[in-house]
Amino acid sequence: MTALTDQLAQGLNSPICLTWEWTYACDLQCVHCLSSSGRRDPRELSTDEMKAIVDQLAEMQVFYVNIGGGEPMLRPDFFEIVEYCVERGVGVKFSTNGGRITAENARRLAAMDYVDIQISLDGVDEETNDVIRGEGTHARVRQAMDHLRDAGYPQFKLSVVMTRQNIDQVDAYEALAQEYGAELRLTRFRPSGRGIDTWHELHPTSEQQVHLYHWLLERPHVLTGDSFFHLSALGEPLPGLNLCGAGRVVCLIDPVGDVYACPFVLHDEFQAGSVRDEGGFAAIWRSSELFASLREPSSPGACASCGSFDACGGGCMAAKFFTGLPFDAPDPECVFGHGETALEALEAGGGAVRPSVNADHSKPIGVGRKRIPVTAL
Amino acid sequence: MSTATDAPVTAPPAFDVERRWRLHPRVALRPEPFGALAYHYGNRRLTFLRSPDLVALVEHLADQPSARAAFDAAGIEARRWPSFEKALTSLAAGEFIVPDRSEEPS
């Protein structure tokens, strides 16, 4: 680690990358959803509570927030809060499934400053995308992209979560992004949310990971949200901070105001408090015991004898936790195969105990939801 | 349609230690233990100012007729100037600092 990443590991006055999920409501039921979204939670923050958070973020000089969900555009006060963020100098980067990007909304978004849009697509063709995101979603996303282009929205991000089925299409995503003047963003599939059940079949193979690493090295303009830092153990580091930012530079506010160490760990063990507690978000960021402990140097544990620990830091905390591995174990997708060995050892020892999510907001099977059999993928 | 790829590509002016520079008006600095975090609301870039000396220098660049004079005014020893020049060169490349036009004769 460099001197700078050492300092970042000890925490910052305010987060760099704050994810804020606005609702658990979603009209889709993607098989890899990190927050198991679907149904709105009746305890979700009110418009006034949301604005009070924005005030506090502005005071803390949080430059921008990454808005997600669920589908944030399903909140009836979506534009009102976006506009409030912008007024207060808090930039908005929001992630959407595109369903509400009508021609009219696209024009409205194009007219706003400080608003960046990230549209999710998980396959360049219908066949690949729709098994992950649901029937008809490929066509719907392409329509949303067309609306943004027609509205003159300057440059959206096309965001793809890398799975075993879609990772071989990276060149096609690049071409598609280029066609729309968009930026391409590829991120790592973590075994979080509904991904706990699907990750084992859907995560990329080790050969695919190595190919992606070299592909990304040649394309530093492709965004990754720093999510593939475990691949830096292969040699030259990928662009980015290359560290687990949980509680250090990253955290999450969920739709009911609970604060977690990162977007991929919606579980009691990583919950630092609630914005509804006294002192709000700032008090949690500055003085939560959980965040203080995450800012301590971590033990290399099983990785101590590996010469690459400094490069990958042992990988992703969430990926270990939700596959049942201890925190000082290798990342389940360790490029040297140590994670696979550790998972096999768990199985041999009677099976991994995999934690479940805190609050599953998935829609019940049969109510507008079809369970996609993983074996069909 | 206008996209970044359609826009004319104009490279930002290269850093010149003899010119007067200033912080870009859309850049915000946030104090941090290591120095400051700088965010450019225009091009959405984020960067780290890795020492409190660099933060003080950047904040007061526009008060001096040239960057070199600003080094002096900030009390930075001459042997450290090359590392500060390097930092400012990279800030200029990301348009965090821009030449101050007010110095130019009209």
Contact A181/B31, CB-based, under 8 Å? no
- Report yes or no for ipTM above 0.90: no
Structure tokens at A108: 């409205």
Cβ contacts of residue A210 below 8 Å, gap of 6+? A234, A335
Distance CA A298, CA A229 (A): 16
Kindly state whether A59 is in contact with chain B, defined as any CB-CB distance less than 8 angstroms. Answer: no
Distance CA A319, CA A322 (A): 6
Instruction: Using the predicted structure, report yes or no on whether residue A375 has a pLDDT greater than 90.
Output: no
Instruction: Using the predicted structure, report yes or no on whether residue A96 has a pLDDT greater than 70.
Output: yes
C-alpha neighbours within 13 Å on the C-beta side of residue A232: 23
Q: Are A256 and A41 in contact (CB under 8 A)?
A: yes
Kindly state whether B33 is in contact with chain A, defined as any CB-CB distance less than 8 angstroms. Answer: yes
- Average pLDDT value for residue range A196-202: 94
Q: Give me the pLDDT at residue B70, please.
A: 96
Contact B32/A13, CB-based, under 8 Å? yes
Residue A201 CB neighbour total at 10 angstroms: 13
pLDDT in tens, A127-170: 999 999 999 999 999 999 999 999 999 999 999 999 999 999 99
Q: Give me the pLDDT at residue B104, please.
A: 55
Q: Give me the pLDDT at residue A371, please.
A: 52
Kindly state whether A178 is in contact with chain B, defined as any CB-CB distance less than 8 angstroms. Answer: yes
Q: What is the mean pLDDT of chain A?
A: 93
Is residue A125 very low, low, confident or very high in pLDDT (cuts 50, 70, 90)? Answer: very high
pLDDT in tens, B86-104: 999 999 999 999 999 775 5
Listed by number, the residues of chain A in 93-152 with a beta carbon closer than 8 Å to a beta carbon of chain B are: 114, 116, 149-150, 152
Residue B102 CB neighbour total at 10 angstroms: 9
pLDDT in tens, A255-280: 999 999 999 999 999 999 999 999 99
Q: Give the residue carrying structure tokens 């990358």.
A: A17
The pTM of this model reads 0.92
Contact B3/A14, CB-based, under 8 Å? no
